[in-house]
Amino acid sequence: MAPDEKPYRVYRGGRAKGKVPTTPRPGRQKSDAAGRGGGGRRGAPTEYRGPGARRGRKPRWGRRISIVAIVLLVLVVVWAVASWFSFSSGVSDANRRLDPNAKAALTHQGGLLLSHSTTILMLGTDNNAKLASRAGDMHSDSILLLRTDPSHHLLYYLSIPRDLQVPIPGYGTQKINAAFQYGGAELAIKTIAEFTGLAINHVMVVNFGDFKDLIDAVGGITVNVPKPIRSNRFDCPFASQARCDTWQGWRFHKGPQHMNGERALIYSRIRENLLDPSETDVTRGARQQAVMDATAAKFTSIGTLIGLPFDGASLAKPLTTDLTASQFVQLGWVKFRASNSGSLHCRLGGDLGGGGGGSPSEDNPATIAMFLGRSAPQPPTGPFNPGCVAGHTLQ
């Protein structure tokens, strides 16, 4: 250091408040000077403005994120309220369609469906006013019991062949599906409860004539068809008899396939598979079970929940039930939480080989014990025998 050079810098004019200006770096002296003259390049550093100068504001990302979160929360609340009112309106109509005597025939259950096991009788009627052959038919074409086990996240299904000969209160021994024809849901509940010895807590009646509308409302369903099918020529889709005479029937290929409402309804109605003569009405019951299971899964899917404000009322249109909107929501959560691999699919059996009605199998009580979780599942040993399998529907 030169003898006359001081190790500090003297500022004249007194002491000023604020930060002391730093010595500019050599490489920036020229640009700073240009900036002071007004001819500096755009974006060049500016000189120190002195004490009290305001700094440039930084983006407040926390405030922006908070605003976005509040907007999203408001939208979710509006969606939830609109969904609830739309869906509950449709369910209220479905509740009014149920005969009060049928509701009185049910076994009352206390507690929430979220935490308590419940048994639901699901009846599918084949009434179709558009077809003269089924205009007055009110038989329960499909009979299915669903038992929930929310504590273990499991579902139990029990399919009952419609042609089993059982005692119907007041009408003697007849096919079990005739109970609905004679006395509606009330007599069907009493008949099935006495035959199985099960307490039925809720009932749901699905009109298959309108069931396709429900499937279309949820955007269709995906069903895994276990084997190729070619049906007989029932419900010909053509207007002229000449085309129906040359038509070879409905066809379904093997494997998973997406079905709209009409296609799913046809699949569940097939009684005769010309490619496999060993199939029976019991097999048709398995197809109906698969369709209803796929519909229940789609009913509780995220896509369906998103569309509830617009489709909520139409979803309950084909239903007649005692289940409230709140119970439907609870049932949907139980279904969502259930393990598909662990759920049990059962069926009752009987002497049905002659193509008509038959007496129930002696092994039906053992299958009902499996349905209740009291014994290990055993698969059916024949096409008309009862049994249970885990993880997939019976075929």
Domain ranges in the chain are 76-390
Q: How far apart (Å, rounded) are the C-alpha atoms in residues 176 and 160?
A: 9
Query: Bridge partners of 258?
Result: 222
Cβ proximity of 347 and 158 under 8 Å: yes
Res 387: pLDDT: 93
pLDDT for the residue 158: 92
Residue 58: predicted pLDDT? 61
Beta strands in 9-164 (DSSP E): 119-125, 140-149, 154-159
Contacts of the segment 11-16: beta carbons below 8 A, 24+ positions apart:
16/50, 16/51
The C-alpha torsion from 368 through 104 and 296 to 386, rounded to 10°, is 20
Element at 91 (helix H, strand E): helix 61-96
Give CA–CA dist 205/306, Å, rounded: 25
140-149 and 119-125: which strand pairing?
antiparallel
Pairing state between β 344-347 and 172-175: unpaired
Q: How high is the pLDDT of residue 34? A: 47
* Parts of the chain with a pLDDT under 70: 1-59, 79, 83, 126-138, 299-314, 353-356, 392-395
Distance in angstroms (rounded) separating the CA atoms of residues 137 and 127: 5
Residue 134 pLDDT: 52
Structure tokens at 216: 């279309």
* Token pair for 195: 């035959």
Which amino acid would we find at residue 259? Answer: M
Residues 6 or more apart in contact with residue 124 via CB below 8 angstroms: 140, 141, 142, 143, 144, 205, 206, 207, 208, 211, 268, 288, 292
Asked whether the CA dihedral 256, 260, 266, 268 is positive or negative, the reply is positive
Name, in order, each residue with C-beta under 8 angstroms of 365's C-beta and a sequence gap of 6 or more: 197
Query: What does the alpha-carbon distance between residue 360 and residue 276 come to, in Å, rounded to a whole number?
Result: 25
Enter the DSSP assignment of 6.
-
CA dihedral 294, 251, 225, 280 (to 10 degrees): 100
> How confident is the model at residue 136, as a pLDDT?
57
Residue 161 CA to residue 175 CA, distance in Å, equals 9
φ and ψ of 258, to 5 deg: -85, 135
Cβ atoms within 10 Å of 358's Cβ, excluding its own: 18
DSSP code per residue over 45-84: PPPP--TTPPPPPPP-HHHHHHHHHHHHHHHHHHHHHHHH
Supply 350's token pair: 């009987």
Closest Cα to residue 88, out of 371, 328, 338? 328
CATH 3.40.50.2300 given to domain 76-390 = no
Please state, in angstroms and rounded to a whole number, the distance separating the CA atoms of residues 60 and 62.
6
